[in-house]
Amino acid sequence: MNVATDYRAFFQIFRDIIRTMHSHDHLDEVLDLVVQKASEVLHAKGALLRLLNPETDQFEVAAAHGIGENYLKKGPVSKKKILFEPGCQSRVHEITDIWSAPRVEYPQQAWDEGVRMMLDVPLSIRAKMIGLIRIYLPEKREHSDDQLDFLLTVAEQCACIIERVRLYENQRTHYFHMAAQLEKMSSLGRMAAGIAHEINNPLTGIMLFSTSMIKKTTKGDPFEEGLQIIIDETTRCKNIVEGLLEFSRNPSPEKKIHDLNDIVTKAIKLVENETQLRYIKINHAMSEDLNPLLLDSNQLEQVFVNLLYNAIQAIGEKGEITVKTGETPLHQAFVAVSDTGNGISKDLMETIFDPFFTTKQDGTGLGLAICHNIVHNHGGDIQVTSKIGKGTTFVVTLPYN
């Protein structure tokens, strides 16, 4: 093989890959291009790119070129099969005998496809393998160290771009979700304000008359129980309406310089009675190094009280809440409220910030919607992670400005 010509072809393809990778923002398109070019550069039968799914610990097919459907139909490859040798994430693995290589999961199907040799090129970031490009060759060949190095260089670039595109896609999803949320909130807010005002007056009337009527009943009066139900249910309606008004008012924050730890401590004090009654321990993990922040202390206190109440309700009885403050790597202040409660299922994660979404019998479902509004009015963000049966963490980040 003429090494000089080879290099020129390699560099041409390398340039193509890099240029196209930088002009594409969808991961699928980038990966399709990588397998196509990797296959072309080695005059291979085809190539397959698998990405590691951290949840299943399996390498799943993300892009394929030149490989028959039959072979593709084979399932994912387990992480154990690929990552069993030390250093395998930093060098190209040549498989010359596909029948006896432990990392070849489907040798018969590969043979039937006309494959006689394979090259496994790791996709690694910071010494961690995130995927693998497997190149299928129609005959056994020898590769020079330079050729293998070259493949590794392409793979390194590819891994970096995969990470960049993933980050970008995550941010974009997060942004669209936020935009949709804000839109939903503002239209709901307008509607809610109108309805709440209309309902508030008749409710006050019902409350007034039913309370004065119950006072006039004597013990054992057949109306007593019914009146009490009217009072209880009207109180519930009034709470919902008040929450609605609060939500729709969405007042702009009156910001002053505050110590975030003070606000968090005050919020904890407000729920302490409840936590003691329910045998819930509150762990304080406040950072001493937080700079003062410009914020509306009443509004932020309301956020933390809401989060703490949700945590208490998720635990029910006996458990722990940990409140942590600190600074993110992007120099924002954060407050994390973690609980050992029942957790939130994956399919509900998107919905919990929606106004009126509740899983509680007497909840209004406005707590988190209000938190979301307040935090966003401060230019901050609120994120949640949760594990069913283990607990939930809400993280509020606030910028210093």
Ligand X SMILES: Nc1ncnc2c1ncn2[C@@H]1O[C@H](COP(=O)(O)OP(=O)(O)OP(=O)(O)O)[C@@H](O)[C@H]1O
Q: Is 301 in the site for ligand X (CB under 6 A)?
A: no
Q: Please state the closest distance from residue 21 (CB atom) to ligand X, in A.
A: 40
Selected from 46, 131, 319, 365, the binder of ligand X by CB under 6 A is 365
Q: Please state the closest distance from residue 185 (CB atom) to ligand X, in A.
A: 12
Q: Among ligand X, Mg ion, none, what does residue 366 contact (CB within 5–8 Å per kind)?
A: ligand X
Q: Among Mg ion, ligand X, none, what does residue 302 contact (CB within 5–8 Å per kind)?
A: none
Q: Please state the closest distance from residue 321 (CB atom) to ligand X, in A.
A: 9
Q: Is 231 exposed, middle or buried (0-12, 13-18, 19+ CB in 10 A)?
A: middle
What are the beta bridge partners of residue 257?
294
Nearest CA to 371 out of 324, 304, 308, 325 is that of: 304
Selected from 7, 14, 106, 357, the binder of ligand X by CB under 6 A is 357
Q: Is 363 in the site for ligand X (CB under 6 A)?
A: yes
Q: Is 311 in the site for ligand X (CB under 6 A)?
A: yes
Q: Is 308 in the site for ligand X (CB under 6 A)?
A: no
Instruction: Return d(Cα 327, Cα 160) in angstroms, integer.
Output: 27
**What are the E-state strand segments in 260-399?**
280-285, 293-295, 319-327, 333-339, 381-387, 391-398
Query: For residues 377 and 250, is the Cβ–Cβ distance under 8 A?
Result: yes
- Parallel/antiparallel/unpaired status of strands 58-65 and 77-78: antiparallel
Q: Distance of CA 102 to CAs 60, 131, 208, 276, 337, Å?
A: 18, 18, 80, 57, 46
Q: Among ligand X, Mg ion, none, what does residue 365 contact (CB within 5–8 Å per kind)?
A: ligand X
CB atoms within 10 A of CB 169: 13
The residue written with tokens 């709901």 in the block is: 188
**Pick 46 or 365: Cβ nearer ligand X:** 365
Question: Which tokens hold the place of 397?
Answer: 């980040």
Instruction: Return d(Cα 303, Cα 375) in angstroms, integer.
Output: 8
**Pick 121 or 307: Cβ nearer Mg ion:** 307
Q: Distance of CA 71 to CAs 46, 66, 122, Å?
A: 11, 11, 20
Q: Is 310 in the site for ligand X (CB under 6 A)?
A: yes
Selected from 344, 374, 396, 398, the binder of ligand X by CB under 6 A is 344
Handedness of CA 83, 25, 384, 288 (dihedral sign): positive
Q: Is 367 in the site for Mg ion (CB under 5 A)?
A: yes
Instruction: Return d(Cα 121, Cα 89) in angstroms, integer.
Output: 8
- Identity (one letter) of the amino acid at 104? V
Q: Is 340 in the site for ligand X (CB under 6 A)?
A: no
Q: Is 364 in the site for ligand X (CB under 6 A)?
A: yes
Selected from 172, 360, 387, 390, the binder of ligand X by CB under 6 A is 360
Q: Please state the closest distance from residue 275 (CB atom) to Mg ion, in A.
A: 15
Q: Is 359 in the site for ligand X (CB under 6 A)?
A: yes
Q: Is 367 in the site for ligand X (CB under 6 A)?
A: yes
Stretch that binds Mg ion, among 108-116, 128-136, 202-210, 360-368 (CB under 5 A): 360-368
Q: Is 155 exposed, middle or buried (0-12, 13-18, 19+ CB in 10 A)?
A: buried
Stretch that binds ligand X, among 155-163, 168-176, 359-367, 375-383 (CB under 6 A): 359-367
Q: Please state the closest distance from residue 363 (CB atom) to Mg ion, in A.
A: 6
**Pick 355 or 367: Cβ nearer Mg ion:** 367
**Residues contributing to the site for ligand X (CB under 6 A):** 306, 310-311, 314, 339, 341-344, 352, 357-360, 363-369, 392
**Residues contributing to the site for Mg ion (CB under 5 A):** 310, 367
